[in-house]
Amino acid sequence: MSRLYRLTGRFPVVVIAWRNVSRAKARSALAAAAIVIGVVAIGAIGAGGAAFKQSQFQSIQEQGATDVFVAPGIDKEPGHFDREDVKAIEETVGSAGVVATRGGEAEWVRRGDRRESVSITYMDDPRSLYTINDGAIPENWRRSIVVSNEFAQEHGLGPESRLTLALDEDTGATYRVVAVLAATQGFGSSDVYLPIEQAPAREYDQVRVRTRSVDRAESTADALRERFNDREDRLLVFELTSLVRLLKTIVNGINVFLTGLGSISLLVAGVSITNTMLMAVIKRREEIGVLRATGYGKADIVRILLVEAVILGVIGVVVGLAIAFVVASVANAIFLGDPLAFTSDSLLYLLGAAAFGILTSLIAGAYPAWRAANERPVDALRG
């Protein structure tokens, strides 16, 4: 007696069910194919959507979703922040880092007296918001200039380049470029960065509070509003959190809707399995009657038929998951740049699709199984 037989002898129901599934190959394949479609629909749409969502959040994160942007409010007199104001904000936000900046404009005096306007951000240390791509900011940053990546590329600038900026109408001062920032999709970046000492006055027009998470950004924003905007609007507090939340709701909604559509295909698969099983049960009426006559109980018949349905489901799920996995990898590659960058969300969708697939086949098999088990063997065997 072979080892295989010893093993299969342990699971007679599975053996009987498997033989029945493989008997009507075409019919079984079609029923399983319906499950494949359902699983692919749910799994691929869900996982692909999750990858898309992840990519959107990544870019929002890069744009500073964990930051709170603070500007002087309409009731603020005068309309800018001074050292005292920044200190007050610092106290309110606690451990979060605070970066105060001032925006400005200047004329870039180029060769042949061509002039071009550039945007300037005055700040203590650009490294508090950006990373340096090339060059270095000296310890004592007083006179040199830092340029943004885009600006550097556009005009072929790099460390050691020089540019003359006319802050006021005529006077031009020449600055040596010391560093080029890394490219950023960041919100509120400007062409060039100068030390705050270079600003016309020691005033700031924006304070950026850096927190570690979207949730913290939101609570920080609330704390600021509570402290400063009790009666008058002294601060204009703006955070991307609410935007993130809105986007999350929209993307989730779309994803749920699409997977819902996918679920409909699984419903169709369920109907198809029920149909297949009903046909099988009717065709095998006498066979089942013989099983019953030779001592198989109703529960045994139900078990055999449910196992048959689940086998169809498992085949469908295995094939469907393989396809969904490929589709999701493609989505990952497109949205996240790495085919294997599965988010926990997308894995959950794949898992859910598998579970639904098997559950569907189980439910779909229930009625035919029940019907077959309840047929009296005398009736089944007559004629």
Partner 1 sequence: MPVDDRPGDGDGNEATTGTPLISGTNVVKEYQTGGQTIRALKRIDFRIDEADSVAIVGPSGSGKSTLLNLLGLLDVPTSGEIRLRKQDVATLSDSERNRERKQTIGFVFQSYYLIPTLTALENVEMPRMLDRTPKKTRDRATELLERVGLSDRLDHAPDELSGGQKQRVAIARSLINDPELVLADEPTGNLDRDTGDQILDLFEELRAEEGVAVVMVTHDEYVAEAADRVVNLVDGTLRAPDTATRADGGHRDRE
- Which residues make up the interface to partner 1 (CB under 8 A)? 1, 5-6, 8-10, 12-13, 15-16, 19-20, 22-23, 286-287, 289-298, 300, 376-378, 381-382
Least Cβ distance, residue 61 to partner 1 (angstroms): 57
133/141 Cα distance (integer angstroms): 17
User: Widest CA span of the chain, in angstroms?
Assistant: 111
Nearer of residues 11 and 257 to partner 1, judged by Cβ: 11
Least Cβ distance, residue 23 to partner 1 (angstroms): 5
Nearer of residues 74 and 378 to partner 1, judged by Cβ: 378
Nearer of residues 112 and 383 to partner 1, judged by Cβ: 383
Please give the full DSSP string across 341-375, using - where no structure is assigned: ---HHHHHHHHHHHHHHHHHHHHHHHHHHHHHHHS
Lookup: tokens for 197: 């000492």
| Cis peptide, bond prior to residue 195, ω within 30 of zero | no
Neighbours of 218 (CB within 10 A): 20
Least Cβ distance, residue 33 to partner 1 (angstroms): 22
Nearer of residues 205 and 286 to partner 1, judged by Cβ: 286
C-beta of residue 131 within 8 angstroms of C-beta of residue 182: yes
Nearer of residues 31 and 146 to partner 1, judged by Cβ: 31
Least Cβ distance, residue 360 to partner 1 (angstroms): 25
161/135 Cα distance (integer angstroms): 11
Nearer of residues 112 and 295 to partner 1, judged by Cβ: 295
Least Cβ distance, residue 300 to partner 1 (angstroms): 6
Least Cβ distance, residue 11 to partner 1 (angstroms): 9
* Amino acid identity, position 244: V
The residue whose two tokens read 């989505």 is: 331
Provide the H-helix boundaries in the chain. 3-8, 12-23, 25-62, 83-93, 149-155, 214-228, 241-283, 285-293, 298-336, 344-374, 377-381
